[in-house]
Amino acid sequence: MSGPVSDLGRARDESGEVVAVEGLDGGMVEITARLPHLAATARPGEFAQLRAWGGVDPLLRRPFSVAWTAGELCSFVLEAVGAGTRLLVGLRPGDPLQALGPLGNGFPLDPVPVRAVIVSGGLGCAPFPLLVRELRRRGCADVIVLSGAATASRLYPAARFRRGEDSVRVVETTDDGSRGRRGLVTELVADACDETAAVYACGPNPMLAAVARTLQRLARPPRRAHVSLEAPMGCGFGTCLGCALPASGGGWFLCCRQGPVREVSEVDWPGLLALPPAHVA
């Protein structure tokens, strides 16, 4: 395998309890659960395989980024798009939640602070509250979040990216102009980047491909750029091979173990966009 590989030795299967379920605008839900191991070990960009149902329907756990940790608590941001997420957003405080994690390789972080440009599309917001906190903890003074969504109600609230880190700038775009600048969030990337910046992006794969195209064209490309990718996931730990994505230069990488975070140049973007959408049992 090439690229950083997830350390499965840190993952644990734990049974927790939901402590809060907050409905945000536009159908997004933030679920907070007592999951002491995951809370103590998850790094920005890592994920957990969640299950909140018995029986075999749905059969598989579902992957979700760890959005926040506080003490023994972990939060996840999601919305109902299918069978598994419908069950998760229907959870109530006191319900059990099973989590296998942390999984995945997470975002690489510079030992010395550099400017950080975070590009978030829709539910791609999920890994970024934790990343913002870690960047600020490491002394990164200049953190900007470019946050885009189709319409105002689908924007993740700026205050939730910041969570008390008031110096973090959040610039919003909406496709329909209902809040912030009208247009696609990717249109802001070129102006926000120069060779001093590190870029972190998460959102639908076509959005990430647009970020990659933009960065390729820059005269002063960022010092590095990483994207967090989506793939259909069965196991989440490298066994089922269901999450293979095309690598630049040929071959494949496993999104669950050599991802979900990849350096932007490591991805075969046309190949990725040609894949059929995820269908998970």
Residues near ligand FES, by CB under 6 A: 233-236, 238-243, 254, 256
Query: Binding-site residue total for ligand FAD (CB under 6 A)?
Result: 27
- Interaction of residue 278 with ligand FAD, rule CB under 6 A: yes
**Residue 189 in contact with residue 164, Cβ under 8 Å?**
no
Distance CA 158, CA 170 (A): 6
- Interaction of residue 8 with ligand FAD, rule CB under 6 A: no
The nearer residue to ligand FAD, 221 or 260, going by C-beta atoms, is 260
The amino acid occupying position 166 is D
35's tokens: 């999951």
What, of ligand FES, ligand FAD, none, does residue 238 touch, CB below 5 to 8 Å by kind? Answer: ligand FES
What, of ligand FES, ligand FAD, none, does residue 107 touch, CB below 5 to 8 Å by kind? Answer: none
- Interaction of residue 85 with ligand FAD, rule CB under 6 A: yes
- Interaction of residue 115 with ligand FAD, rule CB under 6 A: no
**Residue 244 in contact with residue 252, Cβ under 8 Å?**
yes
Distance CA 278, CA 67 (A): 22
The nearer residue to ligand FES, 132 or 233, going by C-beta atoms, is 233
Interacting residues with ligand FAD between 119 and 148 (CB under 6 A): 123, 126
> What is the smallest separation between the CB atom of 144 and ligand FAD, expressed in angstroms?
21
Q: Residue by residue, what is the 3-state secondary structure of 101-159?
A: EEECCCCCCCCCCCEEEEEEEHHHHCCHHHHHHHHHHCCCCCEEEEEEECCHHHCCCHH
- Interaction of residue 260 with ligand FAD, rule CB under 6 A: yes
146's tokens: 């470019």
The answer, yes or no, to whether the previous bond of 102 is cis (omega within 30 of 0) is: yes
| Among 15-23, 93-101, 113-121, 225-233, the segment contacting ligand FAD (CB under 6 A) | 225-233
Q: For the sheet with 68-70, list strands across it.
A: 62-65, 47-51, 96-103, 12-23, 29-34, 73-78, 68-70
Residue nearest to ligand FAD (CB): 82
Which residues are near ligand FAD by CB under 6 A? 47, 58, 62-65, 76-79, 81-85, 104, 123, 126, 230-233, 260, 277-280
